[in-house]
Amino acid sequence: MHLRLDPDERDSAPWVEYADVLTASAAVSWETAGGLLDALLDAHPGCLLASVPLRESGGCLLETPGARRLVVLPSGGTPPLTTWWPAVASFLYAWLTLGRPVDALHGASLTLPSATADIRLIRG
């Protein structure tokens, strides 16, 4: 079991410090995404994974403590991952807590009920 919360939601405020996954809801640009993830992880040391949706690509950027970043982008004609990116974050959390290496996800394809997404390690 894990606790995934949106740090921007007022109802989440009392519980954010206990969350192991933080998924920001507001889509941001590539230019601001990295700084936002760094700030989330710095402010919440118990968090194992933070994610933010990317405005330009319809994907999401995820970061683990230690500045390992992954980008998950819709592939082919798949629509933006707007409804699925929290599930993607939960999948990656499960992957990490099982002790599987982040590097093994680079180049993987993730199939969701209404979307297919490609995973790339962009900083490790």
Per residue in 73-94, pLDDT tens?
Answer: 878 766 666 677 788 888 888 8
- Is pLDDT above 90 for 104? no
Tell me the two tokens of residue 115: 């979307």
Q: Please tell me the distance from the alpha carbon of residue 40 to that of residue 34, in angstroms, as a whole number.
A: 10
DSSP class of residue 16 equals G
Outline where 1-124 has alpha helix (H).
30-43, 85-97
pTM confidence score: 0.83
Which residues are bridge partners to 68 per DSSP?
Answer: 64
The predicted pLDDT at position 79 comes to 66
